[in-house]
Amino acid sequence: MLLAIDVGNTRIKGAVFENNTLLGHFVFLKKDFKKNIENILKEFPKVADLAVASVGDLEKNDFSSFDERVKIHFISHENHFPFTNLYETPKTLGIDRMVLASGAVLQFPKQHRLIIDAGTCITYDFVDQEDNYLGGAISPGLRLRYEALHNFTAKLPLLELGSPKNIIGNSTSESIHSGVVNGAVNEIDGFINDYKQYYSKFTIILTGGDAVFLAKRLKNTIFANSNFLLESLSHLFQYKIKND
């Protein structure tokens, strides 16, 4: 049994898998990650392996207190991945993006794939049908856009994520919601349409904390899978990591 942990820049997500079947799912903050992991390990005594993909500020050492209880697999650039990495700076490529690309290759073989992860940042990753990882894009996520508008201006309030009533915002708050939400939706639809000019057919995977919110607003029909990164960690673990 595997406990997969995704340390993002906003939240930590965890899931327990038995042969790629998800048995339990957890979300918590960095400040209480140890207690939460201890509780999960108590609830699932059969967990023998812990796989961690971290782009947040938790390092391998932060997990060492669990290494008497479980085998720790802290995913790094040294692991084996099921794709050819054509990024010009492979060592700076986010581990989360490498795990997403792996999951896309392992779960959607022999096809072009675009993976969009709407988390702290919105990341775009493209893996072609020959399993070459080409790269993609990084832009601010929804929460980050609201925060940036507030933090870098004198007059703009900090708003919670909300649905814009219209494209034309008729107040300060409606203008912000339209700018953030309609802006991100148009960005994602725009990227998808741009990729279509180069690749006539590709599989799109949308994940991350804002995936469900965004999916229903996109012009392109995309199925959102909020657990795709954790599922990908499980598939990658089965593929190779457990023997690395």
Ligand X SMILES: CC(C)(COP(=O)(O)O)[C@@H](O)C(=O)NCCC(=O)O
Mark the binding-site residues for K(+), compressed into ranges: 117
CB closer to K ion out of 82 and 119: 119
Catalytic entry in 96, 125, 131, 210: 96
161 binds ligand ADP (CB under 6 A): yes
Q: Work out what residue 134 binds among ligand X, ligand ADP, K ion, none; the CB cut-off runs from 5 to 8 Å by kind.
A: none
Burial per residue of 113-141, b for 16 or more beta-carbon CB atoms within 10 angstroms, e otherwise: bbbbbbbbbbbbbbbbbebebbbbeebbb
Binding to ligand ADP (CB under 6 A) within 92-151 occurs at 119-120, 141-143
Close Cβ partners of 31 (under 8 Å, ≥ 6 residues apart): none
State the nearest-atom distance from the C-beta of 104 to K ion, in Å: 14
The size of the chain, in residues, is 244
Task: Assign residue 24 a region (left: φ > 0; alpha: ψ between -120 and 50; beta: otherwise).
Answer: beta
CB closer to ligand X out of 12 and 70: 12
CB closer to ligand X out of 96 and 131: 96
Q: Tokens 């598939």 belong to which residue? A: 235
Q: Work out what residue 161 binds among ligand X, K ion, ligand ADP, none; the CB cut-off runs from 5 to 8 Å by kind.
A: ligand ADP
- β-bridge pairing 113-118 and 203-207: parallel
Contact 216, 87 (CB under 8 A): no
Question: Two tokens at 67?
Answer: 């290494």
128 is catalytic: no
State the nearest-atom distance from the C-beta of 177 to ligand ADP, in Å: 13
State the nearest-atom distance from the C-beta of 159 to ligand X, in Å: 20
CB closer to ligand ADP out of 112 and 178: 178
Find how far residue 190's CA is from the centre of its chain: 20
Question: Which residues make up the interface to ligand ADP (CB under 6 A)?
Answer: 8-11, 119-120, 141-143, 161, 208-210
Which residues are designated catalytic? 96
